[in-house]
Structure 1
């Protein structure tokens, strides 16, 4: 898990010997502890006279959420639950619009689409910032057929929009770089190094601000996407 020990190769000192992040990774155990929980740093490491104190100095503990490893199955279950919630919201939207206009077949449109979530930057959004693409902040309801478009007055679903996908990809790359700079700056402080160090509180604040900025940016894009679709579709 990327955030568990944010040192980015910096040296952390315990006693007279220094351990690098690479060495600490060798101590990580992918198997569950005795209580069935898989931790980035196992409970045994917290009893180590050198490693344990260092981890505590960084502000972690064995049951810190950042020390609990999510498995592939965890993420699959999380995405499945989010998708189910989206399907339920879409069904409720269609029922409400049908009551108003007599018919509605609207389908979800993801502003940050599957090409991002399934690509190299997807894990940054869902693992580092806890953002899920099926949640409301990232979803527009658009007409799934011409009848819905005409009766309900909503833009037609275009499938994918290359221009939007390209713009979003550029935003995500910039957001990821900003996040990694904050994480590295925190790592400098945590490892006792020199340079632009920030505290854990500052790091968490920067991460929260970035998360909200992403949500706000997508919210800003939504009406502009709708207006452009309505313009193109006539």
Structure 2
């Protein structure tokens, strides 16, 4: 598909050449865009992008900076800390003692890598949010008094399974994005913006649902192992 020829006026570009034009560097105004402003100046391509419902300053066309992501992660971590405090406070009121800590189903080894970038940059998912978190006992007293499974640290078997799922999800998104890119640049055989957004939303929900499906099974296995 990267060999497909796309016509911009009298000049032809491959999709690979267009991706080079879409380099993640700021425009003259300091804003980094998915489709940089120079592409919007092309009379055919700019018109096509606008027909597809985009404009240069559409939030979907603005790339987040490293500072944006740092702030986003910090806010999510703060929310997680607050939820953890509330959980421990409520459980202490109920049982007299609780020291529980978060367990991330998709753990930091994935979030810190290239696949993690796919999850937060393309799927708008943050690992500290509730969909990805289990509260597990930090000590034996909590496990016994509160009746919750003990925190195991990292679980390589879970990480391996999750990593395979994330790789497949990422490949599926890249395929949809490429098809949408064909349409956005005037090629044939692609998909519309609406179709791409639907596929992305469906994929995001599938990720959240899969993690939700795994949560009780992880707890059951921990309880079985811990006795």
Partners in 1 of 2:171 and 2:14 — Cα distance? 23
Gaps spanning 5+ residues in structure 2: where? none
8 Å Cα contact 1:10/1:187 also seen in 2? no
SS at match of 1:121: helix
Partners in 2 of 1:181 and 1:17 — Cα distance? 26
Deviations 1:44-93 (A, max 9, x none): 65344354324324432011122112111111111111011000000000
TM-score when normalising by structure 1: 0.87
Partners in 1 of 2:122 and 2:209 — Cα distance? 18
Q: Structure 2 matches for 1:1-234, cutoff 5 A?
A: 10-24=4-18, 25-26=20-21, 30-31=25-26, 33-34=28-29, 37-43=31-37, 45-195=39-189, 197-234=190-227
8 Å Cα contact 2:102/2:134 also seen in 1? yes
In the TM superposition, residue 182 of structure 1 has moved relative to its aligned partner by 1.7
Partners in 2 of 1:65 and 1:21 — Cα distance? 23
SS at match of 1:13: strand
TM-score when normalising by structure 2: 0.89
Q: Residues 15 and 125 from structure 1, CA distance in 2 versus in 1: closer, same or farther, beyond 3 angstroms?
A: same
Count of aligned residue pairs for this structure pair: 226
Gaps spanning 5+ residues in structure 1: where? 1-6
In the TM superposition, residue 183 of structure 1 has moved relative to its aligned partner by 1.7
